[in-house]
Structure 1
Amino acid sequence: MARTCIVCGLAAGSGEHVFPAALGGRRVNSGIYCPKHDNSYSGLVYEIAGQLDFLNAYLGVRPDHSSQPKTAFAEHTLTGETVSISAKEIRFTKPRIISRTPVGEGEAVELSFPDQQSAKQFIKKMEACGHEWAALPKLSARPYITGSVHHKRAFGGACGLGAIAYMTQTFFAQEFPEVARSGALTDFINYTQAIAKVAALGGCEQQTEEREALIEARSALTTALEPFGGTAPAWWDFSPPADARANKFEFGHRVTVGIDGSDGQIYGRVALFSALSFSMRLGTAPQGSATREVTVDIDPLAEHPPHDINKHQVLSAPGRVHVPEHATQGLASAIADGTQQRAFTNLLQRLEEHQLLKLAHAISKALAPCATLSPLEAHALIGKVIDEQPQQIWRLVTCFVEGLKEKWTQGNLQAITPILDGLIAHDVQSASGLSQQAEVTLALAKAALSAQMEEDCAAGLLNEARIAELMGRGPGLHVVGQAVLAPVLEVFGESPRSDEVRG
């Protein structure tokens, strides 16, 4: 088959990623689009990458054009400042003023920087501006407990569906090159080109006043949708085939393309992170086309081929789609009965479990020398490792305290819940982000976890699975709960009961 662009018929050769590089796609095919039409879809790729940026960042997906994993940005709830989010950390993006104290004719200003490089740049800038100032002799580094962050993203929408359609179109052209160039995809390609133009002009969200070029692009999109009854030929689909195989990869994406030769239906399905699912009908294949379906699972965490995909082919059409009477009916039903929320909640839970297991593996590796150390040396090493995980331990603390607050409220003990609030109170003006009382709470939790790990280590029980339990599951909540609740119960002359501590 000649390497011609499926949009214009001119020579292909752009070397486009079959699955978007921004989402971790590693495979390139230079025989689908010409450079012009490959670039024409960049707005859709940018849109879907933006919609999924938090998930990719939290999972640690590395875009194929970058050497570093994805970073997303959110708003710190308490300060309103911007923070960056990655699989490794959450941190502020700019220097922050912690405190200002008058000193003679000047003032002492305590500043917090995201990293050493940021601090050095600030010092250099101050010197260049000629300000009279004197820095402290030594910079100190300490973690900041960020608390909650606000990150709002909408999935889907006109441009999101357009991006899914473009991905599927590209996969179909790779697996069925003759049919893709037969004219069977003409209407579908016209649609993806039109929605891509809207995306490129910044029209993914309706604007109050739009420039002429965008108005024209929207009009062209309306015309392109006419063969599909005025609605996009792609839609959310929460009813995958009953016999669908599990994805080969833990957080794998899946693209299915196929032809049902009985009536020529050309169809496609996409599942992102094995959770967000879409279907589409691309057109009707020429009479006599053979029935065949190709499913490709993509591992967004793979660093490079050949183990980044898993391809499966059948000479049947199990993934054939049913075009809904109303394009949004499936999504509306899924929202109404909670299906969509459950799917997304399940994805977040899987992400948290993935992060916990990665953390447990890293801690297990760091504590491996304990087997040959003296008790005193093991005590020091365990304390050091635990001290390096304040954010995760703080999650245990807040999970326990919030759970206990809910339980006490249900038991008509809400009058004393302010005491629990004090245990986890934040202070944006402190270097740690915590109030003095909350810092004590965190210190108690660290000490309790360190002591439990020492005990388990001495008994030969501190393996990777046990570390995961202590750092993010019930046993860890129990250990932390006993430690942080004991001082509160002493005030009331009680000792912690196991059911209260477990929450």
Structure 2
Amino acid sequence: MAKRSCIICGGATGSREHLFPAALGGRRVNAGIYCSEHNQALGPGAAVLAKQLRVINSILMVESDRDRKVAHYPVTVEDGRTLNVVGGHATLAARFDVTSDTPEVTTGTLNFQTDAQFQAWVKAQHDAGNRVEFGERQINPPKFYPGPRLELTFGGSNGLRAIAYLALTYFAHHFADAARTPALHDFKAYVLGQEAATRAGWAPVDAFANLPVNPFEFGHMIAVGVDTNGKAKALVSIFGSLNFAVDIAQLAEAEEARAMATFINPLARGAPADIHEVAIEPGGLGTVETDRSQQTLETAIADGIMQSALRILFEKISIYVNRRDATPLLMRLENIAARPVSDRSDAIATLLNEQLPTTMILQLCERVVSGLKLAFGATPETVPFIAMLDELLAFDPVRPSGLSENTETLMPAMRDIIGQQLLAATAGGVISIDILVEILAGERGARSISEMYVSVLNQLSNQLSADSSLDRAGS
């Protein structure tokens, strides 16, 4: 392809910008759209998208194309420590408490949750040319925290301007000549932050009804085109759930009516599985409505635009994470299932102690407790039972484990219950990922844990009744 001029200033191109932001899983570049200066000027648009969508990127473990790393999502917890959320799981961030600091020597206490964190820190210090000496080393048991509250904040003028930047880039990619006409002057000014006119806005899911089905589970999509009236427009979908319409321009010069849809797979590591491009009917882009351009995600949810889409997205993410986390266990369970029945029980117990994260058990317990509270309802008669449930699943930041004494006491029993379920599931000599997920994170496991909770509640209730009878007898 012949080298083209920058669509903003007409200068020389060659900056090799990512068509879709690298931090969100974009793998393809184009050296014929922007000059270096304007590629840098538009860079904050990509940064806005990456920052506002960081929580989903972290849970899905989307690798940046620049450094092949997954960005963590930091959350500050009750005791002031920072949790780094990656893949839907939280680990404590490394911490260095300085006790003395001179130009020659810095002394302090290092805190790491895992040995891998410690080794990575030591390597980073050596690579930086720092000499490190260690005194006493103490290994503490892992500490657990309540599941951090993750927030997805998106939209506003900056977020939606970033969506318009995506539309401009893909329009220039597919409509190179039209993107360099004066008709796009005002739209480019909007993308650069030089004009405040409404150009992008939230779109209801039915605006995408006439477009092809996204072939990727969490795929992004950018569809750009020109209709029969010379109107240039775009539809953009992030993770297949956050949907936007973009009003690009009314073209003054004749342009063939056509449209292209590009689907991006953020979970792919490279070509050819990273994108799918297809020509679509220009009418599939529908009528662009941008009167909601200043809305944040919270406002769009309140207005009902995003409620269903987000619910579906987070349900999909939950299923995906559960299956992903269960896969390493499945490989060992398949080997255990092929063993003689007499060997399976001990092998499953060993597997669960080595590989089943306590956080997964806690998440299953949280689901059970929430369900039981809902079933009990809020009545004077059920208040004591709800209080008991809160005591059976509680976190205590003062204790070394981070769990209350009651919760920590019940953990081995819960692990045994899961083990019994797995033993029953392997009775036929095979086990599937669907059954495993149902036991570890679904209805099957929740039902067994629920039975244990009800049994404990009955015991506590009987004890309370007995204590009350003794009190009355004593009085």
Q: TM-score band, normalised by the shorter chain?
A: 0.7 to 0.9
**Count of residues paired in the alignment:** 442
Distance change (3 Å), C-alpha of 1:419 and 1:364: same
Counterparts in 2 of 1:488 and 1:355: CA distance versus 1, 3 Å:
same
C-alpha separation between the residues in 1 aligned to 2:289 and 2:311?
27
- Whole-Å Cα distance in 2 between the matches of residues 328 and 9 of structure 1? 31
Partner of 1:340 in structure 2?
A: 306
Cα distance, 1:441 vs. partner? Answer: 2.2
- Contact 2:153/2:296, CA 8 A, preserved across alignment: no
Q: How does 1:304-383 map to 2 (within 5 A)?
A: 304-324=270-290, 327=293, 334-375=300-341, 377-383=343-349
| Aligned match of 2:105 | none
Q: How far 1:397 moved relative to its partner?
A: 0.7
- Look up the match of 1:274: 240
Amino acid at match of 2:164: A
Q: Which residue of 1 aligns with 2:34?
A: 33
Tell me how far apart the structure 1 counterparts of residues 116 and 301 of structure 2 sit (CA, whole Å). 46
Question: 2:448 is paired with a residue of what secondary structure?
Answer: helix
Does 2:113 align with 1:145? no
- Per the TM alignment, residue 394 of structure 1 is displaced from its structure 2 partner at its CA by 0.8
User: How far apart are 1:307 and its partner, in Å?
Assistant: 1.4
> Which whole-Å CA distance do the structure 1 matches of 2:30 and 2:409 have between them?
57
* Shift, 1:465, TM fit: 1.4
From the superposition, tell whether residues 314 and 419 of structure 1 become closer, same or farther in structure 2 (CA, over 3 Å): closer
Task: Report if aligned partners of 1:73, 1:84 keep a CA contact under 8 Å in 2.
Answer: yes
Shift of 1:337: 4.7
Corresponding residue number in structure 2 for 1:245: 212
**Aligned in 2, Cα 1:382/1:469: closer, same or farther, shift over 3 Å?**
same
Q: Give the Å deviation of 1:41.
A: 1.2
In structure 2, what is the equivalent of residue 209 of structure 1? none
Gaps of at least 5 residues in structure 2 are 98-107, 126-130, 464-475
Match of 1:428 among 391, 397, 404: 397
Given that 1:14 and 1:33 are in contact with CA atoms closer than 8 Å, whether structure 2 keeps it comes out as yes
> Given the superposition, is the C-alpha separation of residues 171 and 91 from structure 1 closer, same or farther in structure 2, using an over 3 Å criterion?
same
Question: 1:159 Cα shift?
Answer: 0.9
Paired residue for 2:221, among 236, 254, 260?
Answer: 254
Q: Provide closer, same or farther for how the CA distance between residues 385 and 111 of structure 1 changes in structure 2, counting only shifts above 3 A.
A: farther
Q: How does 1:127-142 map to 2 (within 5 A)?
A: 134-136=136-138, 139=139, 142=141
TM-score norm. by structure 1 comes to: 0.81
Asked if residue 232 in structure 1 is aligned to residue 232 in structure 2, the reply is no
Match of 1:16 in 2: 17
Deviations 1:331-371 (A, max 9, x none): 89854453323322221111001111212322211212113
Q: Is the 8 A contact 1:267 1:320 kept in 2?
A: no
Q: Is residue 399 of structure 1 aligned with residue 367 of structure 2? A: yes
Match of 1:446 in 2: 415
Match of 1:290 in 2: 256
Q: Give, in whole Å, the separation in 2 of the partners of 1:84 and 1:170.
A: 33
Q: Quick one: which amino acid aligns to residue 174 of structure 1? A: H
Q: Deviations over 1:297-341 (max 9, x none)?
A: 110000101111111103533203333556458989854453323
AA of the residue aligned to 2:86: S
Unaligned runs of 5+ residues in structure 1 are 98-108, 196-220, 226-230, 495-503
Work out the CA distance in 2 between the residues paired with 1:323 and 1:89: 38
RMSD (Å), alpha carbons: 2.9
State the one-letter code of the partner of 1:49. Answer: A
CA gap of 1:41–1:381, structure 2 versus 1, over 3 A, is: farther
Partner of 2:178: 179
Question: How far, CA to CA, are the matches of 2:430 and 2:383 in structure 1?
Answer: 39
Post-superposition Cα deviations, 1:412-464, rounded to whole Å, max 9, x if no partner, equal: 41133211111111111223210121012222211100011112212335322
> In the alignment, what sits opposite 2:444?
475
Q: Per-residue deviation at 1:406?
A: 2.6
Q: Aligned partner of 2:370: which letter?
A: E
CA distance in 1: counterparts of 2:186 and 2:405, whole angstroms: 64
Q: What per-residue deviation string (whole Å, max 9, x for no partner) do you get for residues 379-438 of structure 1?
A: 233223323321111111111012212322345411332111111111112232101210
Letter in 1 for 2:212: R
Corresponding residue for residue 470 of structure 2: none
Quote the Cα distance in structure 2 between the aligned partners of 1:86 and 1:257: 33
Partner of 2:103: none
Partners of 1:440 and 1:162 in 2: how far apart?
52
Aligned to 2:384: 415
Task: Give the Cα separation in 2 of the matches to 1:87 and 1:297.
Answer: 23
1:420–1:258 CA distance, 2 compared to 1 (3 A): same
1:452-467, aligned counterparts within 5 Å? 452-460=421-429, 462-467=431-436
Distance 1:175 1:129 in 2: 54
- Name the structure 1 match of 2:164: 165
Q: What residue is the counterpart of 1:6 in the other structure?
A: 7
Say if 2:76 and 2:82, in contact at 8 Å, map to a contact too: yes
Instruction: Please report how far the alpha carbon of residue 493 of structure 1 lies from its aligned counterpart in structure 2 after TM superposition.
Output: 4.7
Deviations 1:106-164 (A, max 9, x none): xxx99852222555769x99xx8999x6444xx35x44332131343420111111111
CA contact (8 A) 2:157 2:293 kept: no
State how far apart, in whole Å, the 2-side matches of 1:343 and 1:404 are.
Answer: 28
One-letter amino acid of the counterpart of residue 115, structure 1? T
Using structure 2 for the length normalisation, give the TM-score.
0.85
Indicate the percent of aligned positions where both proteins have the same amino acid: 27
The answer to which of 408-417 and 348-357 deviates more is 408-417
Q: For 1:293 and 1:119, how far apart are their aligned partners in 2? A: 52
**Which 4+ runs in 1 deviate beyond 6 A?**
128-131, 329-333
8 Å CA contact retained: 2:236, 2:244: yes
Aligned to 2:86: 86
Q: Aligned in 2, Cα 1:333/1:161: closer, same or farther, shift over 3 Å?
A: closer
1:218 matched residue in structure 2: none
Structure 1 residues 452, 312: CA separation in 2 closer, same or farther (over 3 Å shift)? Answer: same
Cα distance in 1, alignment partners of residues 387 and 319 from structure 2:
31
1:110-125 equivalent positions in 2, closer than 5 A: 113-116=112-115, 118-119=117-118
